[in-house]
């Protein structure tokens, strides 16, 4: 059986936990309960007829109170960087987290998700702002943990890239 550890990274309240909940349990909640430390979830999926277990480490968001512990990143085969499309500052955080992660564990397949797509009226992040972070990611998805849009695809893409990356 194939198992891969992946990490959810991003600024606080961008919707990391919500995306995992949507992906794993197919639910969404308006309530915001910040993650302290790390929460671990698991989801099995099939890629080309082969089963792969994703062990998802949902880390706390980066803010002035707590920063991401790089030791949690160890052994990770892939990362999902989450940006809140309604807050342009979260783009920069994603970028700095990317630097931090790559320094800690080297380059691993990375997916960038621009979350809260359902709130397009309040959308703040445009192409010019995104250009630098687009570079670092192997794939970019517009998602909404609320409607489920793009969530499955973002995780699947990462799974496929990780499998290819290790020749499995």
Partner 1 sequence: MAGGMDSNPEDSREAFGLLRQLLLKPEIEKLAEISRRLDDPEVRAAEVGQILAAALRRQAAVDDRLCLALRPLIEKTLYNSVRKNPRALVDIIFPVMGPALRKSVSAAIMGMIQSLNQMANHCLTIRGIKWRLEAWKSGKPFSAVVLAHTLLFRVEQVFLIHAESGLVLQHVAAEGVSGKDPDLVSGMFTAIQDFVKDALGSGSELIDTLRLGNQRSIWLEQGRYAILAAVIRGTPPMDLRHDIQDCLDRIEAVRGQALAAFDGDTAPFENLDAELRGLLQFQARPETGRRTWLLPAAIATLVTLAALALGLNRYQENRTWQRLLERLRSQPGIIVTRAAREDGRYLVEGLRDPLAPDPESIKSACRAAKLPVDWRWKAYWTMDRPFVLKRAELLLKPPPSVRLLLEGGILSARGYASHSWIVRARRLASVLPGLAGYNDGQVVDQDLVAFQKAVQRLESKAIYFVKGGIDLDPGQEPNLDDVASIVRTLQGFDFPDRPGLNIAVIGHTDVSGTEKFNLALSRLRAEKVVSLLAARGLEAGLFNPLGLGPAGTGSESQALWRSVTFGVR
Ligand X SMILES: Nc1nc2c(ncn2[C@@H]2O[C@H](COP(=O)(O)OP(=O)(O)OP(=O)(O)O)[C@@H](O)[C@H]2O)c(=O)[nH]1
* Chain residues that interact with partner 1, rule: CB under 8 A: 1-5, 37-38, 40-42, 52-53, 55, 57, 69, 71-72, 74-77, 162, 166, 168
User: Could you give the CA distance from residue 148 to residue 26 in angstroms, rounded to a whole number?
Assistant: 8
Q: Cβ atoms within 10 A of the Cβ of 129, count?
A: 14
The piece of 89-97, 111-119, 120-128, 131-139 that touches ligand X (CB under 6 A) is: 111-119
Taking each helix axis as running N to C, give the angle between helix 16-25 and helix 151-165, from 0 to 180 degrees, rounded to the nearest 10. 90
Q: Which of 4, 5, 23, 60 is in the footprint of ligand X by CB under 6 A?
A: 60
Q: What is the full DSSP assignment across 131-143?
A: HHHHHH-SEEEE-
Smallest separation (angstroms) from partner 1 to the CB of 60:
11
Q: Which of 144, 154, 157, 159 is in the footprint of ligand X by CB under 6 A?
A: 144
Site string for ligand X, 25-44 (x = CB under 6 A): ----xxxxxxx---------
Q: Does 65 bind ligand X (CB under 6 A)?
A: no
**Contact 38/72 with Cβ under 8 angstroms?**
yes
CB-wise, 26 or 168, nearer to partner 1? 168
User: Could you give the CA distance from residue 89 to residue 12 in angstroms, rounded to a whole number?
Assistant: 11
- C-alpha distance across the termini of the chain, in Å: 11
Smallest separation (angstroms) from partner 1 to the CB of 138:
18
Q: Does 7 bind ligand X (CB under 6 A)?
A: no
Q: Which of 7, 9, 12, 154 is in the footprint of ligand X by CB under 6 A?
A: 12
- Which of 77, 54, 58 lies closest to 68 in space, CA to CA? 58
């Amino acid at each position: 059986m194939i198992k891969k550890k992946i990490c959810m990274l991003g600024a606080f309240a961008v919707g990391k936990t919500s995306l995992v909940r949507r992906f794993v349990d197919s639910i969404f909640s308006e309530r915001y309960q910040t993650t302290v430390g790390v929460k671990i979830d698991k989801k099995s999926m099939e890629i080309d007829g082969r089963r792969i277990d994703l062990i998802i480490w949902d880390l706390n968001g980066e803010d002035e109170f707590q920063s991401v512990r790089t030791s949690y990143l160890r052994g990770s085969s892939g990362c999902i960087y989450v940006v809140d499309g309604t807050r342009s500052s979260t783009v920069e955080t994603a970028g700095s987290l990317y630097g931090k992660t790559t320094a800690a564990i080297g380059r691993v397949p990375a997916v960038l998700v621009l979350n809260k797509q359902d709130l397009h009226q309040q959308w703040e992040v445009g192409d010019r702002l995104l250009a630098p972070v687009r570079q670092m990611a192997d794939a970019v998805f517009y998602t909404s943990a609320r409607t489920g849009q793009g969530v499955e695809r973002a995780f699947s893409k990462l799974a496929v890239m990780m499998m290819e990356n290790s020749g499995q």
